[in-house]
C-alpha cells in the first residue's frame, strides 16, 4: 500500500496536491490542467503533468494521463473500513480511486489497515465473487508473503488493478481468473504490486 505521508513529496508536488485537495473539497470535482497551471503560475502543462505523475506513483492520486477530469484523491480513512473504489474482476481498470464510503464493520474485522473494494466484472464468479460484491482486503508487505492460490488485488503498472488468484511458477507470476472465459495474466515479479489479500466477500441483497 502507498505511504501517504506528505514528507514523501517535493515542495512543488505538495503545493499542487494541497491545492487539488482544497479545490475538490470546495467544488466536488477535479480541476482541469489549465486551472492547475493558473493556480501554480505555470504557462506550460508539462510541469503539471509531471507532478501529477509523481503524485500517482507515490499513491496520493488516481489519474489517467492526459485526462485531468479522471483525477481522484486517495485518502486514508480512520473510521470504519475504507472503500477504495473498484477492482476489476474481468479485464483491468484504473487503480484505486478515492475513498467513496465507509463500510461500518470495524467491530467485526480488527485487522490493521483492512480496506474494501467493489468488484467490477465476472472473472471471479466461480470463486463466488460476483459483479457488485464488496471484497475486504488485508494489505501485504511483500510479494513473498503471498501463497499460491490466494486471491489478491494486484496493481499492474500502466494497466490498473485486478482481482485474481495468485500463483508463482518458476520466475513468473500468474494472475488467474475463476472463469474459463479469461486468460491468465503472466508477469515478472517486478511488474506488479500486490495491494492486498482477500479476507471476506460482502454481498448486499
Hey, which residues are catalytic here? Answer: 123, 164
Per CATH, domain 81-202 is 2.10.109.10:
yes
- List the CATH code of the domain at 7-73: 1.10.10.10
Kindly tell me the sign of the dihedral angle through the C-alpha atoms of 29, 34, 38, 42.
Answer: positive
Report domain extents, the chain.
7-73, 81-202
- Indicate yes or no: pTM above 0.75: no
Query: Tens-of-pLDDT digits for all 205 residues of the chain?
Result: 334 445 578 899 999 999 998 888 887 778 888 999 999 999 999 999 899 888 877 767 766 666 656 676 765 433 455 555 556 555 444 444 444 455 555 444 555 677 778 788 888 889 988 887 888 888 888 888 899 999 999 888 766 788 999 999 988 999 999 999 989 999 998 888 888 898 888 765 4
Amino acid at each position: 500500500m502507498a505511504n501517504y505521508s506528505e514528507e514523501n513529496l517535493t515542495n512543488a508536488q505538495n503545493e499542487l496536491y494541497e491545492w487539488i485537495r482544497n479545490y475538490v473539497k470546495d467544488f466536488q470535482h477535479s480541476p482541469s490542467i489549465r486551472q492547475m497551471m493558473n493556480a501554480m503560475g505555470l504557462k506550460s502543462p508539462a510541469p503539471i503533468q509531471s507532478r501529477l505523475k509523481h503524485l500517482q506513483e507515490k499513491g496520493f492520486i488516481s489519474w489517467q494521463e492526459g485526462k485531468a477530469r479522471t483525477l481522484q484523491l486517495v485518502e486514508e480513512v480512520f473510521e470504519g473500513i475504507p472503500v477504495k473504489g473498484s477492482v476489476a474482476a474481468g479485464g483491468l481498470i484504473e487503480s484505486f480511486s478515492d475513498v467513496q464510503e465507509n463500510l461500518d464493520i470495524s467491530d467485526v474485522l480488527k485487522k490493521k489497515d483492512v480496506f474494501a473494494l467493489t468488484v467490477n466484472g465476472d472473472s471471479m464468479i466461480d470463486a463466488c465473487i460476483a459483479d457488485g460484491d464488496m471484497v475486504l482486503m488485508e494489505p501485504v508487505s511483500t510479494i513473498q508473503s503471498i501463497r499460491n492460490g490466494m486471491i489478491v488485488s494486484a496493481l499492474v503498472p500502466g494497466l490498473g488493478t485486478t482481482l485474481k488468484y495468485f500463483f508463482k511458477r518458476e520466475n513468473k507470476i500468474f494472475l488467474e481468473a475463476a472463469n474459463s472465459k479469461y486468460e491468465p495474466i503472466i508477469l515478472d515479479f517486478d511488474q506488479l504490486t500486490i495491494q492486498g489479500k482477500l479476507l471476506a466477500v460482502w454481498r448486499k441483497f
